[in-house]
Amino acid sequence: MKKMRRLLAILAVLTILAPMTVAYAAEDGYSSTYTYNYDYWSELRESPDAYRVTDVIYSSSLALEKAMRSPKSLFVRDQDLYIVDTGNNRILQLTRIGTRFDLVRVIDQVTVGADKLEEFMAASDLMKNEDGTYLTDDDGSYYLKPPIGSAAEKGPMVLTSENVTYFNNPNDVSVDPDGKIYVADRDNNRVIVMNKDLEFVQLFTKPSDSTFDQNQAFLPNKLVVDTSGRVFVLANNINKGLVKFEADGTFTGFIGANPVTYNLWDYIWKTYFMTKEQRSQQAAFVPTEYQNIYIDKEGFIYATNTSFSEYDLLWDNAKPIRRINAVGQDILVKNDRYPPIGDLEWVEQSSDHGPSKFYDITVLDNDMYMAIDQTRGRVFGYDPQGIMLWSFGTTGVNAEGVFTRANSIEHMGTDLLVLDELDCSVTVFAPTEYGNLIYQASEQYLRGDYDGSAETWEKVLQLNANYNLAFIGIGRSKMRAEEYEEAMALFKMAHDRDNYGRAFRYYRKIWVEKNILWVVLIIAVLVVFSFVRKTIRKVKWEVAAYEHNKVVK
C-alpha cells in the first residue's frame, strides 16, 4: 500500500504540473508548436519535437550536372539511398558517410549482355518491317520502338549485345539483399532487373494469363521484393490488388485487393431507381487502387489507400493503412481509440483541409511505422499497436521541415528521409532526446526489460506530462511485474479501459487466491449463522404457537 500511495502521489503531482512540464520542455529547446499528439478526448496537444531536420539534400549539394526533376520515390538499403529521378529517366544512388550523403553513381541505363540478349528480345517491343519481319541494321542488330515522352528524342534504340537500353518514366526502385536492382520502368511496361554492375538480369512484363485484362497496359508504378525474390507490383489501372511474380518471373495472381467502398445512398439509387441503360453509363462499384506499398523485415506488405469516403475514416471502414499477410488479409493491429488515420479533425469535403491522405509509408526495424500525409505535409508515427506516437511537419516553402509536395518517405535506422517532388529535395530528420526515449522505452519493453522500460517512460513524462502512451507504457511494465494495483491506477490516468480491465482481472484473481481461506471461512460463518438464525426463529415460532393454542383451549 505504501508503494500504491507513493505512485498515486507522483501521478497527482504530474497531473498538476503537466502544463508547466511542457512549458519547461519548450524553454529547454523543444518546440511545442511543431510536434503534436491527441489526448483521450481527441483534443490536439502540443509536445516537444520528436524529430529535427539535420540535412536537406538538393541537386546542388550533389553537384549534379542536370538538376533533379519530378523525383517520385526513395529506397534505402543499408547506408545507400536511391532517388528515383523520374523526370530525368534515371536513378541516383547515394551513400551515407557519417552525416554526409555523397553521390555514388547515376543509373540511367542497363547493359544487355550477349547471354541475356535473346531473353530481352523476347520480352521487348521490337520494330517490324511491312512484311512482319523484325527491323534490323546491316550488322544484324535489332531496332526497338522509340520510347514515349522526352526519351523519344533519342529515336529508335539499337539492341545489340554491346548496347544498352534506357528507362522511360521510372516510378520506383528496390534492391534485394544480393544487390540486384529492380526498377518499375513504367512507360516501357516492365519491371527490369539488373545486377549491382548494372547488367541485365531479368524482365517482368505484362502477364499473359486470362485473369489479367489483356486490354490494359502493364504500367508498374510501385514495387517491393521479399527475401525470396518474389516481386509484388502496384500497377496503374489494376484494381484487383498487387500483381505477384515469383522469382523466376512466373505470374501467380493478385494479392490483397482493396475492399469495395461505396456510398449507401448511391448504391440504393443505382440498384432500385435507375434504368438498365442509366446503370450502364455509371461507373461500377469496384475496388480502388492502392497509393503506395512497403515491405517490412518480416515480409508483410504495408499498403496505403487515398481513395475513400472521409465519413468512413473514424469507423475504420476506409482503412487508409493496411498490413497484408501472405494470403492477402489485413492484419494491422488497431488498439487505440481510433484507427491510424492521421489527423482526427478536418474540414469536411475540402481538398486542401480535408482528412489526411497517406501517400507513402515506411516501417522501422522496431515495427514503428511512419506515414506521410500529402494533405498537410505531415509525418504521422504509430507504434505496433496502432497508437499514435506523434505528428510533425507542414506545407510551405523556403523553410526546413516544410514541404510543397511530400510524396515519399524512407528510414535509415531511426532517421527519416522525406522526398519533396516539387522542391526536388530530400529532407533528413533525426530523432531528438524525446523521440529517442520513446523508441528506447518501447524497445526495452519488447526485450522484456520491464523495469528499464518503466524508468525510461518516466523520463518521457518529465519532458511531456501529457503523453498518455507513457502512462500506458509504465502500466504495461507494472502489469508484467504483477503489480496490478499500480497498473490499474496508471491505466485509469490514461483512460485505457481495455488494459485497466485486464489488470483488474489479474488483481481480482490474485486477491481471491490470497484471501480464499478467509473468504471460505466468512462464507461458512454466514451459512452457519443463517442456519442457526432460522433454527432459532423456527423454535420461537413453535413455542409461540404452542402457547397460543394452550391459551385458546
Q: Which three cell numbers stand for residue 456?
A: 525510461
Is 72 a domain residue?
yes
Q: Which three cell numbers stand for residue 69?
A: 526533376
The pLDDT value recorded for residue 30 is 36
> How confident is the prediction along the chain (553 residues), in pLDDT tens digits per residue?
555 555 555 455 444 444 433 433 334 443 334 799 998 888 888 899 999 999 999 999 999 999 999 999 999 999 999 999 999 999 999 999 988 999 999 999 998 877 777 777 777 777 777 887 778 776 667 777 765 555 556 566 676 665 668 898 999 999 999 999 999 999 888 999 999 999 999 999 889 888 888 888 899 999 999 999 999 999 998 888 999 999 999 999 999 887 665 555 555 655 666 666 655 545 444 456 899 999 999 999 999 999 888 888 888 888 999 999 999 999 999 988 899 999 998 888 777 789 999 999 999 999 999 999 999 999 999 999 999 999 999 888 888 888 999 999 999 999 999 999 999 999 999 999 999 999 999 999 888 898 899 999 999 999 998 898 999 999 988 888 888 889 899 989 888 888 888 888 888 888 777 888 887 888 888 888 888 888 888 777 877 776 767 666 5
Same domain, 119 and 242: no
Same domain, 101 and 128: no
How many separate domains does the chain show?
A: 3
Is 536 a domain residue?
yes
- Domain termination residue (choose one: 368, 403, 431): 431
Bridge-partner residues for 105, per DSSP?
A: 93
The pLDDT value recorded for residue 283 is 46
Same domain, 308 and 374: yes
Same domain, 292 and 368: yes
The amino acid at residue 377 is G
Is 503 a domain residue?
no
* Sign of the alpha-carbon dihedral angle for 484, 487, 492, 498: negative
Beta strands 90-97; 80-85: pairing state: antiparallel
Is 10 a domain residue?
no
Is 17 a domain residue?
no
Q: Residue 313 maps to which CATH number? A: 2.120.10.30
Query: Which residue reads 536537406 in cell numbers?
Result: 56
- Domain termination residue (choose one: 151, 166, 181): 166
Question: How buried is 70 (Cβ within 10 angstroms: 0-12 exposed, 13-18 middle, 19+ buried)?
Answer: middle
Secondary structure (3-state) at 120: helix
Q: Which residues contact 213 (CB under 8 A, 6 or more apart)?
A: 238
- Domain termination residue (choose one: 431, 465, 491): 431
Residue 291's domain spans which residues?
51-108+167-431
Rounded CA gap, 289 and 300, in Å? 18
291 CB neighbour count, 10 Å cutoff? 21
The pLDDT value recorded for residue 369 is 98
The pLDDT value recorded for residue 275 is 66
DSSP class of residue 294 equals: E
Rounded CA gap, 233 and 303, in Å? 12
**Interior CA angle at 29 toward 25 and 35, to 5°?**
70
**Interior CA angle at 49 toward 26 and 97, to 5°?**
130
Same domain, 154 and 185: no
Same domain, 411 and 349: yes
Same domain, 118 and 88: no
**Does residue 280 come out as left (phi exceeding 0), alpha (psi in the -120 to 50 range) or beta?**
alpha
Query: Which residue reads 491505466 in cell numbers?
Result: 491
The pLDDT value recorded for residue 24 is 34
Beta carbons of 163 and 171 less than 8 angstroms apart: no
Q: Which three cell numbers stand for residue 396?
A: 510551405
Q: Which residues contact 91 (CB under 8 A, 6 or more apart)?
A: 82, 83, 84, 85, 106, 107, 108, 167, 170, 173, 181, 183
The pLDDT value recorded for residue 300 is 96
Question: How buried is 253 (Cβ within 10 angstroms: 0-12 exposed, 13-18 middle, 19+ buried)?
Answer: middle
Same domain, 134 and 171: no
Same domain, 255 and 155: no
Q: Which three cell numbers stand for residue 4?
A: 500504491
The amino acid at residue 363 is V
* Sign of the alpha-carbon dihedral angle for 229, 251, 235, 87: positive
Helices and strands per DSSP (H, E), number in the chain: 11, 31
Is 15 a domain residue?
no
Bridge-partner residues for 316, per DSSP?
A: none
* Residue 90: closest CA among 67, 112, 113: 67
Beta carbons of 346 and 38 less than 8 angstroms apart: no
Rounded CA gap, 325 and 303, in Å? 11
Rounded CA gap, 371 and 377, in Å? 10
Same domain, 306 and 403: yes
Is 375 a domain residue?
yes
Is 447 a domain residue?
no
The pLDDT value recorded for residue 271 is 62
DSSP string, 207-249: --STTS-TTS---EEEEEE-TT--EEEEETT--S-EEEE-TTS
Same domain, 101 and 121: no
Same domain, 221 and 263: yes
